[in-house]
Amino acid sequence: MNTIQVRLAAFDGSDFNKGAGFLKTTIWYFVNAILVRASWNPFMSIKIALLRAFGAKIGKGLVIKNNVVIKSPWNLVVGDDCWLGEDCWIDNLDKVVIGSNVCISQGALLLTGNHYYTISSMPYRNAPIKVEDGAWIGAKTTVCPGVTVRRNAILTVGSVATKDMETNGIYQGSRESCGEDKGKKNKRINRQ
């Protein structure tokens, strides 16, 4: 078995934020911390206006709770009548497209970025996430890079999606790690 010698000093992070330069990323960091993510700001219209000002494409009727983390609004598309629950994290180093009537519950993580652990400098290996209309991403779940959550699919509390989820499927369980084929498979339950 070959062992990779990790050399984090060689990591350059040059593809950290697609679609934004250093200045825009820096300004967003402070606007997000002070106004968007802040628990003292209950005004969803202000949060939505700021997300749009930084490039997010957002439909009507978004409910965005407190402490929601959106890393890169310029990589975010949200349809109509969606909910983003408390403490959910959209870690969108790549594009995240959320359809209409989608619920992203409390503490859910949409993770578009990971690292190539087989390369010593551990460069990014990012992939977009798509969540289609009517899907429900349960509390404390993780959707990994490159996953498509099909129409009306449900990811149950505490589960991890490492592969595409089928239309109307209910998924529970996890795998060993994001991006791996090893480990337990998600259990799919048919919806009535």
For 14-58, how does the pLDDT look when each residue is reduced to its tens digit (9 = 90+)? 666 667 888 999 999 999 999 999 888 888 999 999 999 999 999
Q: What is the pTM of this model?
A: 0.85
Q: Give the pLDDT score at 106.
A: 98
pLDDT digit string, tens, across residues 53-88: 999 999 999 999 999 999 999 999 999 999 999 999
Residues whose CB falls within 8 Å of the CB of residue 80, separated by 6 or more in sequence, listed in order: 59, 60, 61, 100, 101
Q: With bands split at pLDDT 50, 70 and 90, how would you rate the model's confidence at 11?
A: low
Give the separation between CA 96 and CA 77, rounded to whole angstroms.
Answer: 6
Give the separation between CA 99 and CA 163, rounded to whole angstroms.
Answer: 18
Query: Which tokens hold the place of 163?
Result: 């592969």
Q: Give the pLDDT score at 12.
A: 66
Query: Which tokens hold the place of 176?
Result: 């060993």
How far is the CA of 59 from the CAs of 46, 52, 76, 125, in angstroms? 15, 10, 11, 29
pLDDT higher than 70, residue 132: yes
For the chain, the structural domain boundaries read: 18-174
Fold classified for 18-174:
UDP N-Acetylglucosamine Acyltransferase; domain 1 (2.160.10)
3-state secondary structure the chain: CCCCCCCHHHCCCCCCCCCCCHHHHHHHHHHHHHHHCCCCCCCHHHHHHHHHHCCCEECCCCEECCCCEECCHHHEEECCCCEECCCCEEECCCCEEECCCCEECCCCEEECCCECCCCCCCCECCCCEEECCCCEECCCCEECCCCEECCCCEECCCCEECCCECCCEEEECCCCCCCCCCCCCCEEEECC
How far is the CA of 31 from the CAs of 10, 47, 160, in angstroms? 30, 10, 30
Nearest CA to 62 out of 90, 34, 91 is that of 90
